[in-house]
Amino acid sequence: MKKIVFSLIILFICSSSFNTRENQYLDFLKKQKKFAKDYVIGLFKNYDIVILCERDHKEFTQYELYLEIAKDPYFIENVGHIFTEVGSANMDDEINRFLQIEQQDSLSTRTHITSIFREISDVPYWHCYNYPWFLGELFKLNQKLNDNQKVMLHPSDCEFDWSKCKSPKDYKSYTKSTNHRDSIMAYNIIKRFISIQAGANRRKKALVIMNYKHAFLKDHKFLGETTHNTGRYLSDKFKGKVASVYIMGLAIPEKGAYTLVKNGKWDYYFETSKKTDVGFNLVGSPFGSAEFDVIPPDSALPFKYEDMFTGLIFYKPVQVHQLRIGWEGFASGEFIPELRRRMHIFNEAEEIGMTKEDVENKLLENNIEKTTKYKNLEKLRKEIDQWQNGL
């Protein structure tokens, strides 16, 4: 009997300690008042570069947040520059010439956006709807602004030009040059940003949109391999002037599994606290001191969230996220022969194994705009909802 009573006491003590730790998260969130957009804008008061860790490339609602940020008066007057992982760096001049154009009819604008969209990537077509949409929205915004206020968009990926890629051999030669992609992207950003800071315009700050590991402020090991991250390069170059913010979405806490961090517990905290549009600093928060699990844990060095990021944003629950692909008119008549050529080069160089029929069937695939949810959404909801019965 004494053993049973003793065991119950120990269980109670452990349970109380566990709940106290978990309640720290809820108590902390109750005190958070800043919307995600306002949090990011506030970071620019202390940092020259703010990196946003993009969730799934296809996820659209996060781009609505990016647009909110770009439209903010403080951003327009004091920042004005957006760098993206998506897009070959050699497209910078063409993109910003377009963004500086005075008002034109909607058909001409759409045609111009489509022509840029066709050239931004080293794959035959980039599938994400959000890029041309974002480009179009920035164009609309700039129509309302003076010349010295217009927002600029800078692609930072490895330079690539389809017109110079004549064969699979050319393509393979290019891919060999991208083995150190993060350092190349960092170099492209650093070079452009230095010129921005040296320029006549008084806006000397920038927003950087990078997907997952590219936004990390430290290098790390992933599945046994050391990775070097763009965020770390930028942080080293501009010491004390770079912040990085994790936007909660799907992560890879276990090899091969795109799912939620902390087994859905953090999503539950935000949802039950009704904090579905919020941002805050990680240092000094229970979130910051938690073990970092956006990727599988690094066995060599157990990072915390505050090691990799300055802040955290929760912006809309997973069931609201939208995966949007396609762009109507991407493969219009005059472009189809060129698209076919690119697809054959890419297919052979990457040894994908598509037949000629497969290529023909895929030619018009990107013309269809589609919106879907995460394939494992039901499982994700179960992971979150399991915490309703108590932590």
CA-to-CA distance for 281 and 39, rounded, in angstroms?
Answer: 9
Given a cut of 80, whether residue 113 has pLDDT beyond it is yes
| Mean pLDDT, residues 295-320 taken together | 90
194: left (phi over 0), alpha (psi -120 to 50) or beta: alpha
pLDDT single digits (tens) 326-368:
999 999 889 999 999 999 999 999 999 999 999 999 999 989 9
With CA atoms as reference, report the closest residue to 245 among 387, 59, 42: 42
Structure tokens at 8: 């119950």
User: What is the value of pTM for the model shown?
Assistant: 0.93
Structure tokens at 75: 């951003």
Given a cut of 90, whether residue 1 has pLDDT beyond it is no
CA-to-CA separations, 120 to 58, 113, 342, 385, in angstroms, rounded: 16, 11, 13, 40
Residues 6+ apart with CB under 8 A from 287: 25, 28, 266, 280, 305, 312
Instruction: Name the average pLDDT for the chain.
Output: 92
In the chain, % of residues over pLDDT 70: 94
pLDDT (0 to 100) of residue 103? 76
Structure tokens at 280: 């805050």
pLDDT (0 to 100) of residue 226? 84
Domains of the chain: 44-389 (3.40.50.11550)
